[in-house]
Structure 1
Amino acid sequence: MLERGRETTADNMFDWRGIKVYVYSTLGSRGAARLENHADADHQGFMNRTTEEELGPILREALRKGIQIETHIIGDRALRTFLD
């Protein structure tokens, strides 16, 4: 999709224009990326395997081509990282 950009069928019945980005782990396994330690663990959780350096160019290219970006984020640190 990033190569071609937004796509619409000839009859305009379908408009493909979005990607979804997952930046999270889970709360139950204490994996959510938090700014402070989990209440019952001595760590702040984890982040996706995709780094900011890898994700940044993808998101910029999507925006440049008019592709909507949808997100699924768990954890305040994950949210802050994505928004920054």
Structure 2
Amino acid sequence: MADIILQIAVVLIFLSIVLGVARLIIGKTAIDRVVAIDMLTVVSIAMIALYAHLSGRFVYIDVALVYGLLSFLAVLAIARFLEKGP
């Protein structure tokens, strides 16, 4: 049963990557692209967590947490820059 759930998770992560890249390409504004990049970082955090579970090395969870924090700070910086305008 756990194997089926992990396979479903992999398929959903792959689908999320495809949709995120499509939004990144199709996005008309900078905000659309920033949201797509933020979604892709969340998906990559999910991939890191899934890999940590599959490999049994839970030190990767720390990597995912730091990556999530850096991603959050980057999105805040970009939002602040876009708020001021060129």
Check whether TM > 0.5: no
Higher relative contact order (CA 8 A, sep 6+): 1
* TM-score, length basis structure 2: 0.28
The structure carrying a bigger helix percent of its residues is 2
* TM-score, length basis structure 1: 0.28
The structure carrying a bigger strand percent of its residues is 1
Larger radius of gyration: 1
